[in-house]
Structure 1
Amino acid sequence: MADVLSRAWAQVRWEEDVVSRAKVSSKYDQKSSRPSKDEREETIRPRPSRESTNQSRGRYQHRPLPRSKGMMVSTWPSISHLAISKPELIRVLRQMGPQVKWPPKMRSPDATRNPKRWCGFHSDHGHTTEDCIALRLEVAELLKKGYLREFLSDKAKDLLNREGPALPNDAVPALPPPQERVIHVISGGSEVSGISSAAAKRSTRNARNGQETEVPKHPLLETDEISFTAREQERVLAPHHDALVISLVIANCLVKRILVDNGSSSNIIFHSAYMDLGLDPKTLTRKATPLVGFSGEVKQTEGEVLLPVYTEGINQTTKFLVVDCPSSYNVILGRPWIHDMGAVPSTLHQLVKFPTPWGVKVIRGDQENSRSCYQTTL
């Protein structure tokens, strides 16, 4: 695969160099009715053999985007659908880390390239960032995988929502985001049942009368079958009554001591963990929500925040309530996250299973962290 990609990159670099050399040489050809033999040989594009054409097919193959992606406007994919400037786009790509395939610098001599044309994607001169074919292909590939869509124009977003699902049939799991740091270290606030007594009564009444029969937001697998086997208990320290504590990447940080609690009606992130993520406190939506504890005590939240949670190829934007109180956990993933993921947690097997377009994925619990958290509360 690496050999195919390198050949494709070589083809892209060659095409860009030919274009840039043609633009430079055209300035010197205006006074001459016929270019010299050397100039003709330099600008003539050789016809690639069938073998080399087949070998260069890969990620950067000259190809249009599928119609279902709402991006097909020309032979080459256009980056005009993005609502950010080209310098901003380059900065965003640099922040994405290994998700982006960066091209090497051009190999053609500096004398054959226009020094006034700078490409931020190649970090070299010869053509502009707007004319960079490799950048167009890379943006198209990232859009196909689900990245950069928050920077699309409103019209492009409408096309995506109208013409096809977010995940194509040939989609692959998203790569995990770069981990900037590692963080080692209830009831209430339900969006469905509401936070008032009247709203909770109305939700209970609807459930009794069978009025809330909406289709699940996320379709599961064709079989909808998630099961646990006795063999999966072989890796579990038994006997145990351990809580299900996992580690996940939240906001590009590996967060440990995450309690998966189907008894919690909210997703909770504690204030200390929120600050450890390095987030700007201004991004917090100041909205006080009452949370009711086990013995009836009420705790007001500091606010709420939307954070990306990466889980085995799925990037799920999740709403958290921020709570400022001592806790042995960093995060509590309650029923909102469990239901949005279509997940099935098992404390007995110390596993969380959930469906994806690529099959059932598994998150394994950490019994050592679970017991350490329990010890901290004593």
Structure 2
Amino acid sequence: MQGVRDKSFLASLDKNPLETLAKFMTRSDKYANAEETKNLREAAQNVKISVKESTKKEVDSAGGKKRKEDRTRDERKSGKRPDRRFSTYTSLNKPQEQVLMEIKSEGFVSWPNKLRSNPNRWNNDKYCHYHRDHGHSTSDCYHLQEEIERLTREGRLREHVERTGTVEERSGDNRPTEEIRTIVDGPRGRGDSNNAWKSHVKSISRPESEILIIARPSKEKKKEKYCISFTDEDARRIHHPHDDALVITLTIANRRVFHIIIDTGSSTDVLFTHAFNKMSIERSTLRPVRTPLIRFSGGQILPEGIISLSLTAGSPPQQATVMVDFLIIDQSSVYNAILGRPSLSLL
């Protein structure tokens, strides 16, 4: 009785009782065989379903892997990547493969691992110098584009960034945070006495609306203006391109003076003592000066005096002679004199 679990067997015994044990065993065997057959059929059906589901999973897994490889290959071909780190990329002044060739020996470059896709599907005609493997070209490598952008934002590739637009557009907010002021002037500009100092400071401190510029008509005949130019003859024995200083020869106090440097940043005209002594001019003609000159190091140089001398530039008919106030400076120099803004404005 324990071997037959089908309830229909018990129901048949209630409905049709058996008279002998032989009939009972015959009926129980019949129901037992039927139950065993049913269990075998259900087991076979479960095995079939399990095999079918397992096969489906393997097919789906293989298909998903294939689709992933195909997607990776398509992304490699197109140079696109869905999960980029940056939304915008800096414009370069050269191709990214050239940038890589110039920075590959630098220690700050982060190199990637080998490609993980199926080598059988790679395009062996294309090679990436960043991945050091075949499959796509260096110019189409989005990993390299990401690395270059990272280095650019760290400020390591400034020389490779394309310069476009104004300074404000390239660097953002460049509004000054501080002001650095300086006044450079000499006796020629505002005098050498305390009263001259006070008058000069008051004049530059007044509002712009209170400063009036009155143009007085000159009684002298209007000078003809000439164009100053340099010819190939002037450029002889000069190696180009050059950043040589402008050194000229002029006539000072009827003496031909060589090695005179033009300095538009100087607010005074200077004549060094080694040149002044050769002119045989009496020192008694020097006027005293109380305003020192300031060195780059902060030290002061007190001129030996100031003197007005004639200065002639050019040759007839294109010649000009003016009176210039020279500061006499006792300092060694490779030049004999310095022509600053005061004399240049007179010529």
TM range (shorter): 0.3 to 0.5
- What is the TM-score normalised by the length of structure 1? 0.35
- What is the TM-score normalised by the length of structure 2? 0.38
Query: Which one scores higher on RCO, CA 8 angstroms, separation ≥ 6?
Result: 1
Q: Which structure has the larger Rg over C-alpha atoms?
A: 2
